[in-house]
């Protein structure tokens, strides 16, 4: 099969500008809005003054609001990027969309099935665009798999293994779990309520839905944060087996307490299998029945405006997420990770978490897709 050929080099089609407001000066400061020729960062916000100042610096944007609630009243904005804590995402995104603005949000899309419904309702009722900024979707091996699958090179993906590990030593955990002595939203947060880095590797490649799940959870009885968190969550590690809408099998892990790190997938089909590289030194291998083996990823940077072609976090995904959202708005179309894809990556984890409380009883994942 040889090398994969990159398609679709970037060329500026219009000088339209999307005016975006960016909320959340932690992870939210790591995107390239100001470098996209079709985007202007017109406002920023964080409740914390240090982070608000940081956002004004990074995005060279002097207009700063004290809160998301104030920023969304700015009618000069077309869209808002919501990079606040996970439990606030739906409340914040619904507030944004109810002002008629488009919305891109950090993962996960929601933390309960009711919230999944509320998110979709707000997007539909306001007739705006919504996108979830799932970094696994634009890791370069995922882009390659998506295109090989689309071109029929893969056959069906009969079995996949998708995983996200984020171990924390005491110093790192305390940095994430506490701010000024107060607990943050991350304190004792359930692994399977953060499923999208894993599920995105399958839903983002085949667009299958995860329809049934059996999940086991593990948590040491005296494990940090497990006895008194806001989520009544006793688990630091969760492993799920999903049935997909194509009848296939997906093994999905999200774990905080093991000594392993990063987001990784293996996709196995009848004609081809692919094994992503990983933190522990696993090589990146793609084996095809047609041979010769595929030779890694092409250079996808050419799909981006020149100024955005720089290394970034999470497998180089940040400028691709940035550019896809801006381009979708400029072209007046749904973004690649639209509200239905976002919920299809999120809801299965919510149901997996419920299954863990039932010692792995297989549960059905409801569909949030529109009737086709
Ligand atoms: N790979 C990835 O996709 C990835 C990586 C890291 C974080 N994230 C997600 O990104 C989001 C942000 O992560 P983080 O590490 O920066 O979290 P964080 O909790 O450190 O930062 C959230 C920020 O939002 C601000 N905020 C909260 N409510 C606000 C409001 N009403 N108005 C203005 N500002 C408000 C807070 O002051 C805080 O600075 C989280 O949802 C996290 O899950 C995703």
Report which ligand 1 atom has the smallest distance to the Cα of 313: 1
pLDDT by residue (tens digit) across 113-123? 999 999 999 99
Answer yes or no: are the C-beta atoms of 145 and 274 closer than 8 Å: yes
User: For 172-196, how does the pLDDT look when each residue is reduced to its tens digit (9 = 90+)?
Assistant: 888 999 999 999 999 999 999 999 9
Domains and CATH numbers, the chain: 136-297+337-364 (3.30.360.10)
pLDDT of 197 reads 98
- pLDDT digit string (tens) for 283-329? 999 999 887 777 778 899 999 999 999 888 899 999 999 999 999 99
Q: Which pLDDT score, from 0 to 100, does residue 9 have? A: 86
Residue 135 near residue 321 (C-beta atoms within 8 A) = yes
- Count of other CB atoms within 10 angstroms of residue 337: 28
pLDDT at 2 over 60: no
> What is the C-alpha separation between 338 and 230, in angstroms, rounded?
29
Taking the centre of ligand 1 as the mean of its atom positions, its distance from the CA of residue 186, in whole angstroms, is 10
Output the pLDDT for position 7: 61
Atom of ligand 1 nearest to the CA of 317: 1
Residue by residue, DSSP assigns 309-346 as -S--HHHHTHHHHHHHHHHHHHTTS--SS-HHHHHHHH
- Cα(105) to centroid of ligand 1, in Å? 10
Res. 171: pLDDT tops 90: no
Mean per-residue pLDDT for 53-82? 98
Q: Burial letters for 274-302: b for 16+ Cβ neighbours within 10 Å, e otherwise?
A: bbbebeeeeebebebeeeeebeebbebbe
Mean pLDDT, rounded, of the chain: 95
Q: Between 158 and 174, where is the model more confident?
A: 158
pLDDT, residue 6, reads 52
Q: How far is the CA of 28 from the centre of ligand 1 (A)?
A: 7
Task: Give a three-class secondary structure readout of 350-365.
Answer: HHHHHHHHCCCCCEEC
For 126: left if phi > 0, alpha if psi spans -120 to 50, otherwise beta; the answer is alpha
Q: pLDDT digit string (tens) for 335-345?
A: 999 999 999 99
Residues paired with residue 214 on neighbouring β-strands, in sequence order = 241
In whole angstroms, give the CA distance from residue 265 to residue 300. Answer: 19
What are φ and ψ of residue 77, in 5° steps? -90, 140
Mean pLDDT for 85-97 is 98
Residue 82 CA, ligand 1 centroid: distance in Å: 8
Q: What's the CA angle centered on 206, arms 205 and 210, to 5 degrees?
A: 110
For 81, phi then psi, to 5°, come to -100, 115
Residue 168 pLDDT grade (very low, low, confident, very high; cuts 50, 70, 90): confident
Q: How confident is the model at residue 355 (pLDDT cuts 50, 70, 90)?
A: very high
Judge contact between 39 and 18, C-beta under 8 A.
yes
The rounded distance, in Å, linking the Cα atoms of 269 and 156 is 5
Task: Tell the residue nearest (CA) to atom 37 of ligand 1.
Answer: 47
107 lines ligand 1 (CB under 6 A): yes
Residues 190-246 pLDDT 10s: 999 999 999 999 999 999 999 999 999 999 989 999 999 999 999 999 999 999 999
Residue 67's pLDDT is 98
Report whether pLDDT(133) > 60. Answer: yes
Nearest ligand 1 atom, CA 65 = 33
Backbone angles phi, psi at 104, to 5 degrees: -120, 140
Give the integer Cα–Cα distance in Å for 137 and 141.
9
Residue 45 · residue 68 · CB < 8 Å: yes
CA–CA separation, 140 vs 50, rounded Å?
33
pLDDT of residue 169 exceeding 90, the answer is no
- Nearest residue to 103 (alpha-carbon basis) of 112, 92, 111: 92
Residue 40 clears pLDDT 70, i.e. is over it:
yes
For residues 231 and 193, is the Cβ–Cβ distance under 8 A? yes
Which residue, judged by its Cα, is nearest atom 20 of ligand 1? Answer: 26
Q: List the structure tokens of 9.
A: 């080099």
Q: What is the pLDDT of residue 312?
A: 87
Q: Residue 3: what pLDDT?
A: 47
Strand bridging mode 262-269 / 272-275: antiparallel
Q: Is the pLDDT assigned to residue 372 strictly greater than 60?
A: no
Q: Say what the pTM is.
A: 0.96
Check whether 129 has a pLDDT greater than 80: yes
Rounded CA separation 26/9 (Å): 31
Read off the tokens for 18: 């999307």
Tokens 């696994």 found at = 136
Share of the chain above pLDDT 90, in %: 87
Radius of gyration (C-alpha) of the chain in whole angstroms: 20
């Amino acid at each position: 099969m040889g090398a994969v050929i990159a398609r679709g080099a970037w060329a500026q089609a219009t000088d339209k500008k999307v005016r975006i407001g960016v909320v959340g000066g932690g992870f939210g400061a790591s995107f390239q809005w100001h470098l996209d020729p079709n985007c202007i960062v017109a406002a920023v916000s964080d409740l914390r003054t240090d982070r608000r100042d940081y956002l004004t610096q990074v995005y060279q944007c002097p207009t700063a609001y004290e809160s998301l609630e104030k920023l969304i009243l700015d009618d000069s904005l077309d869209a808002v990027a919501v990079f606040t804590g996970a439990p606030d995402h739906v409340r914040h995104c619904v507030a944004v969309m109810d002002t008629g603005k488009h919305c891109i949000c950090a993962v996960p899309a929601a933390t309960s099935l009711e919230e999944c419904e509320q998110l979709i309702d707000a997007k539909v009722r306001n007739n705006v665009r919504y996108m979830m900024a799932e970094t696994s979707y634009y890791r370069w091996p995922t882009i390659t798999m998506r295109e090989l699958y689309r071109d029929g090179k893969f056959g069906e993906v009969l079995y996949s293994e998708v995983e996200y590990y984020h171990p924390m030593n005491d110093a790192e955990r305390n940095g994430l779990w506490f701010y000024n002595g107060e607990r943050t939203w991350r304190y004792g947060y359930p692994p399977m309520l953060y499923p999208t880095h894993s599920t995105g590797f399958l839903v983002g490649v085949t667009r299958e839905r995860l329809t049934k799940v059996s999940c086991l959870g593990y948590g040491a009885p005296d494990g940090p944060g497990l006895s008194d968190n806001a989520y009544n969550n006793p688990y630091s590690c969760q492993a799920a087996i999903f049935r997909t809408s194509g009848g296939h099998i997906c093994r999905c892990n999200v774990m905080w307490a093991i000594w392993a790190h990063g987001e990784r997938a293996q996709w196995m089909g009848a004609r081809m299998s692919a094994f992503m590289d990983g933190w522990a030194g696993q090589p990146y291998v793609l084996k095809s029945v047609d041979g010769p083996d595929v030779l890694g990823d092409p250079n996808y940077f050419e799909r981006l405006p020149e100024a955005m072609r720089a290394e970034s976090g999470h497998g180089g995904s940040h400028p691709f997420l940035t550019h896809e959202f801006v381009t979708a708005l400029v072209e007046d179309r749904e973004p690649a990770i639209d509200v239905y894809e976002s919920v299809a990556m999120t809801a299965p984890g919510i149901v997996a978490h419920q299954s863990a409380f039932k010692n792995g009883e297989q549960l059905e994942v409801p569909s949030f897709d529109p009737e086709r």
